Structure 1
Amino acid sequence: MTNYISKSKFSAIRGMDLPEEPSQGANASHTSCCDGGEATEASSCCGPTVATDAPAWRRIDWLLWGSGGIIALSYISGFFLTHDEPLGLGAFTHGVQEMMNLMWWGILVGMLAVGLIDRVPREFVIGVIGRDQGAKSLVRAVAAGVLLDLCNHGVLMVGAKLYERGASLGQVFAFLIASPWNSLSLTIIIGVLMGWGWMLTFLVISLVIALLTGLAVEALERSGRVKPNPSRIDLPADFRVWQEAKIGLCATRYDFAFARDVARRSVIASRMVLRWLFFGVVLASLIQVTMPTEIFATWFGATLLGLFTTLVAATIIEVCSEGSVPIAADLLTRAQAPGNAFTFLMAGAATDYTEIFVLREVTRRLKAALLLPILTVPQVLVIGWVLNAAG
Structure 2
Amino acid sequence: MEYFNQFLRDFVQILNEMSPYLILGFFFAGLLKVAFPQKFIDKYLGKKNSRSVLNASLIGIPLPLCSCGVIPTGISFFKSGASKGSSVSFLISTPQTGVDSILVTYSLLGLPFAILRPIIALFTGFLGGILTNKVDDDESNTVNTNKTTNLNDCDNNCNSDSNTIAIKRSKLYILFKYAFVDFLQDISKWLIIGLLLAAFISVLIPNDFFSDFIGNDFLGMIVILIASIPLYICATSSVPVAAVLMMKGISPGAALVFLMAGPATNAATITVLNKVLGKKTMWAYLISIITGALLFGLLIDNFLPREWFTLSGIHHHTAAHEGHWIIPKYLQWASSICLSILILNGYLQKYLSRKRNFKNNDSEKTLETLTVTVNGMSCNHCKNSVEKHIGALKQISNAEVNLEQKRLFLKGESIDISIIKKELKSLGFEYGGTLKN
TM-score where L is the length of structure 1? 0.51
Q: Of 46, 53, 74, which residue of structure 2 is paired with 1:138?
A: 53
- What is the CA–CA distance in structure 2 between the aligned matches of 1:379 and 1:148, rounded to whole Å? 20
Q: What's 1:152 paired with?
A: 67
Q: What letter corresponds to residue 225 of structure 2 in structure 1?
A: L
1:110-164 Cα deviation digits (max 9, x unpaired) = 9xx8xx989x6xxx7653x244332322222112212212222222232122122
> Post-superposition, which runs of at least 4 consecutive aligned residues in structure 1 deviate over 6 A?
252-255, 291-294
1:260-319 Cα deviation digits (max 9, x unpaired) = xx9xxxxxxxxxxx9xx9xx99xx99xx8xx97985996334522111111122124322
Q: Of 296, 304, 316, which residue of structure 1 is paired with 2:218?
A: 304
> How much has 1:192 moved relative to structure 2?
1.6
Q: Of 71, 91, 104, which residue of structure 2 is paired with 1:189?
A: 104
Structure 1 stretches lacking a partner, 5+ long = 1-82, 85-97, 99-104, 234-244, 263-273
- Written as runs of structure 1 = structure 2, the 5 A alignment for 1:205-284 is 205-222=120-137, 227-231=139-143, 248=157, 251=160
Q: Is the 8 A contact 2:124 2:289 kept in 1?
A: yes
- What is the CA–CA distance in structure 1 between the aligned matches of 2:54 and 2:232, rounded to whole Å? 28
Report the aligned-residue RMSD.
Answer: 4.9
- Written as runs of structure 1 = structure 2, the 5 A alignment for 1:1-391 is 126-127=42-43, 129-222=44-137, 227-231=139-143, 248=157, 251=160, 299-301=209-211, 303-335=217-249, 337-361=251-275, 363=276, 365-391=278-304
Q: What letter corresponds to residue 229 of structure 1 in structure 2?
A: N
- What is the CA–CA distance in structure 2 between the aligned matches of 1:228 and 1:213, rounded to whole Å? 19
Report SS of the residue matched to 2:124.
helix
Cα 1:150/1:350, change in 2 over 3 Å: closer
Cα 1:246/1:157, change in 2 over 3 Å: closer
> How much has 1:339 moved relative to structure 2?
0.7
Cα 1:168/1:232, change in 2 over 3 Å: farther
Q: Is the 8 A contact 1:163 1:172 kept in 2?
A: yes
> How much has 1:357 moved relative to structure 2?
2.2
- What is the CA–CA distance in structure 2 between the aligned matches of 1:215 and 1:389, rounded to whole Å? 28
Q: What letter corresponds to residue 172 of structure 1 in structure 2?
A: S
> How much has 1:364 moved relative to structure 2?
5.6
Structure 2 stretches lacking a partner, 5+ long = 5-14, 16-24, 146-153, 175-185, 305-437
Which structure: greater strand fraction? 2
Report SS of the residue matched to 2:136.
helix
- What is the CA–CA distance in structure 2 between the aligned matches of 1:321 and 1:364, rounded to whole Å? 24
1:4-30 Cα deviation digits (max 9, x unpaired) = xxxxxxxxxxxxxxxxxxxxxxxxxxx
> How much has 1:323 moved relative to structure 2?
1.9
- What is the CA–CA distance in structure 2 between the aligned matches of 1:313 and 1:135, rounded to whole Å? 32
Question: In the comparison of the two structures, how many residue pairs are matched?
Answer: 255
- What is the CA–CA distance in structure 2 between the aligned matches of 1:300 and 1:387, rounded to whole Å? 18
TM-score where L is the length of structure 2? 0.46
1:41-64 Cα deviation digits (max 9, x unpaired) = xxxxxxxxxxxxxxxxxxxxxxxx
